């Protein structure tokens, strides 16, 4: 074994980008997060459940936007490992959207015509408790650097694929040298025209949009779309707005998809404020998802009739371009399924 050199390790740490330093400081213990927020751990609503398979993870930049002393804070609710997660509810399963049935190996999931989804990593900056991939077997489905060639060969061989979607986890959890390598390889596949990134990192960790990331975005020929994930207007503070600006300046399309969540955004005022704030940040509302019925998330579900009533209220008070499309994802369907209202 080669002995480690502390001074070299310190040098490597010093060269790491700011966002990686921030991730190392993320809250991972419920008691620490509650202490930071000035909340009493003896409060019944704050009893923490088991986290062995899906631990707490909250960047401090995101926790700063939570209201101190508020047990019902909508940002806290999204990340708090509530005891309700342990309830077994009929219809809530581990693979809620049927991803595993569509996996092609090498980290590829091919569900939609002309588009292929690439599972770039299993890591996220934040662990959202309603995540539809919270039980996903990432160890066998990652398109990490050692296995990207399999995915790239599959994409190159299928000329019907014009768009590659980077997902995860969160693709921006990967270091920029890895992302640059992957995107450069995609650039070399002539029939691929668009690159889409599904990411929550610019919302929960705005420092992630830095010069290194902008560098490989500048280098690609692919038309690029960022599909962000914000559920509440308070997630979009001034730091997030500033982080998104250089993306817009590069002509990158910014869309947002939200999940309709009980106790977070299940009222018309909150959803309207989210759409208005998104526009201020240069982001268009895209989808409002009914909850994917993943095991452990039943306490977040909003019924379809309630969702339909909310959409009617939104359409009465907002211009059409600020009203997201209400959809659900059904396993085996060739696209998102619109929910009429």
Alpha-carbon span 185 to 149, nearest angstrom = 9
Q: How far is CA 18 from the centre of its chain?
A: 20
Rg (CA), the chain: 20
For residues 131 and 127, what is the distance between their CA atoms, to the nearest angstrom?
8
Q: Token pair for residue 168?
A: 């995860």
How, if at all, do strands 108-112 and 115-119 pair? Answer: antiparallel
Look up tokens 């569509």; give the residue: 102
317: left (phi over 0), alpha (psi -120 to 50) or beta: alpha
Binding residues for [4Fe-4S] cluster: 124, 128, 131
Cβ pair 125, 208 in contact under 8 A = yes
Give binding residues as ranges.
124, 128, 131
Across the strands, what pairs with 242? none
- The residues near 320 (Cβ < 8 Å, ≥ 6 apart) are none
In Å, what is the CA distance from 231 to each residue of 72, 108, 238, 240? 15, 27, 16, 14
Q: Locate 80 and state its tokens.
A: 């708090």
Q: Would you give the end-to-end CA distance of the chain in angstroms?
A: 64
């Amino acid at each position: 074994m080669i002995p480690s050199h502390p001074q070299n390790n310190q040098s490597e740490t010093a060269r790491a980008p700011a966002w990686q330093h921030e991730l190392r400081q993320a809250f991972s213990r419920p008691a620490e997060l509650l202490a930071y927020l000035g909340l009493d751990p003896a409060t019944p609503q704050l009893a923490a459940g088991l986290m062995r398979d899906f631990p707490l993870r909250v960047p401090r930049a995101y926790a700063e936007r939570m209201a101190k002393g508020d047990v019902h804070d909508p940002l806290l609710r999204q990340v708090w490992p509530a005891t309700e997660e342990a309830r077994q509810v009929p219809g809530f399963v581990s693979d809620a959207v049927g991803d595993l049935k569509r996996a092609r190996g090498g980290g590829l999931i091919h569900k939609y015509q002309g588009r292929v989804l690439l599972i770039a990593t299993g890591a996220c900056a934040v662990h959202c408790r309603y995540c539809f991939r919270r039980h996903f077997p990432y160890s066998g489905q990652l398109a990490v650097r050692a296995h990207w060639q399999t995915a790239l060969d599959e994409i190159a061989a299928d000329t019907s694929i014009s768009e590659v979607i980077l997902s995860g986890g969160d693709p921006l959890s990967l270091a920029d040298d890895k992302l640059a390598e992957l995107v450069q390889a995609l650039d070399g596949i002539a029939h691929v025209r668009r690159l889409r990134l599904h990411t929550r990192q610019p919302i929960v960790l705005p420092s992630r949009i830095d010069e290194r990331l902008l560098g490989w975005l500048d280098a690609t020929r692919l038309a690029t779309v960022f599909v962000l994930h914000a559920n509440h207007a308070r997630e979009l503070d001034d730091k997030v707005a500033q982080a998104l600006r250089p993306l817009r300046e590069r002509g990158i399309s910014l869309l947002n998809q939200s999940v309709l969540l009980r106790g977070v955004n299940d009222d018309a005022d909150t959803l309207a404020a989210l759409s208005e704030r998104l526009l201020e940040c240069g982001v268009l509302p895209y989808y409002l998802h009914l909850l994917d019925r993943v095991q452990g998330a039943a306490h977040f579900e909003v019924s379809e009739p309630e969702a339909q009533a909310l959409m009617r209220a939104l359409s009465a008070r907002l211009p059409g371009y600020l009203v997201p499309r209400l959809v659900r994802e059904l396993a085996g369907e060739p696209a998102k399924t619109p929910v009429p209202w």
